[in-house]
């Protein structure tokens, strides 16, 4: 009696709480964006108050500084599926590679956004000390004070922007535990403060500080925008995917992505005392 080969894999179950779910995701259809992009954002929040009925008042309008362009350099994320040629008739190489890419992309984007894990340095990152560098509010803040300190600082300088607070899973769990679940509210797979700021949490967020400092840190920025292109699977045929000497078949799924925020608006950070 022979037993037919069966692809009885367990399904991938990536975390529901992720940066991709919290951010604004834009699906790009024009391939030219992959060479890089640039846009001029709207201002962080500049306005004036004056008495329109008093002709003696000298009205001086403050001009909004919205002339600094945001630039972005996309990068590629690649996932694969490799296995022996035995049983290739039932193994879904291409589909498995695609599922792996979809499952891992938020983690990889989060690592790049927080700490430039790849070392490519193509875009500003949260813990960076160059363009878009965060201003440190305080160090060793108590967990119960984190949200208020970050939001107060951010909205004082960027009142027209919605805030996004970035934290590691460890800090999220500490905040919720210490507050009995009252610090944040959850809607679906996303968390929000009582000021309705978005709280971005991802398994890829390690919580390091500016320049890679240790300890537990949190950041606040305008809402992050993630751009992504279509998934491309290579090679085209199973014969091209087969390495005969190694008796293996490999397929790769790749996607061009980029994540950024309006770094004209000041971002802030603080370290948290978790002892």
Do residues 176 and 183 touch, judged by C-beta distance below 8 A?
yes
Q: Which of 4-13, 135-144, 149-158 has the lowest mean pLDDT?
A: 4-13
Q: What single DSSP character describes residue 200?
A: E
Greatest alpha-carbon span in the chain: 101
**What 3-state DSSP class applies to 153?**
helix
The residue ranking higher by pLDDT, 191 or 41, is 191
d(CA 240, CA 254) in angstroms, rounded, equals 17
Q: The tokens 């699977």 sit on which residue?
A: 233
Q: Which of 81-95, 161-175, 185-199, 261-275 has the lowest mean pLDDT?
A: 81-95
**pLDDT tens by residue, 221-269:** 999 999 999 999 888 676 665 665 666 778 889 999 999 999 999 999 9
**Torsion-angle region of residue 140: left (phi > 0), alpha (psi -120 to 50) or beta?**
left
**What 3-state DSSP class applies to 145?**
helix
pLDDT band at 121 (very low <50, low <70, confident <90, very high): very high
**What 3-state DSSP class applies to 81?**
strand
Give me the pLDDT at residue 1, please: 45
Q: Which domains does the chain carry? A: 135-225+262-272 (3.30.2320)
């Amino acid at each position: 009696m022979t037993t037919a080969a069966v692809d009885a894999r367990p399904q991938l179950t990536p975390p529901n709480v992720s940066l991709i779910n919290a951010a604004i995701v834009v699906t790009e259809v024009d391939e030219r964006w992959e060479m890089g992009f640039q846009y001029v954002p709207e201002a962080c929040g500049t306005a004036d108050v004056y008495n329109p009925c008093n002709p003696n008042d000298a009205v001086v309008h403050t001009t909004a500084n919205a002339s600094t362009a945001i630039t972005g350099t996309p990068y590629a994320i690649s996932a694969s599926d490799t296995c022996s040629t035995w049983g290739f008739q039932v193994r879904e190489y291409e589909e498995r590679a695609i599922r792996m890419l979809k499952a891992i992309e938020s983690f990889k984007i989060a690592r790049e956004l927080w700490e430039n894990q790849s070392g490519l340095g193509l875009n500003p990152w949260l813990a960076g000390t160059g363009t878009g560098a965060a201003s440190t509010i305080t160090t060793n803040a108590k967990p119960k004070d984190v949200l208020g300190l970050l939001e107060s600082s951010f909205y004082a300088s960027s009142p027209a922007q919605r805030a996004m607070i970035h934290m590691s899973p460890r800090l999220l769990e500490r905040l919720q535990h210490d507050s009995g679940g009252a610090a944040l509210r959850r809607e679906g797979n996303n968390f929000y403060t009582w000021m309705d700021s978005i709280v971005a949490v991802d398994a890829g967020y390690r919580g390091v500080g500016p320049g890679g400092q240790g300890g537990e840190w949190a950041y606040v920025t305008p809402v992050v925008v993630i751009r992504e292109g279509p998934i491309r699977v290579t090679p085209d045929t199973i014969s091209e995917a087969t390495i005969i000497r190694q008796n293996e078949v490999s397929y790769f799924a790749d996607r061009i992505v980029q994540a950024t925020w309006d770094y004209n608006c000041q971002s802030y950070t603080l370290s948290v005392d978790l002892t």
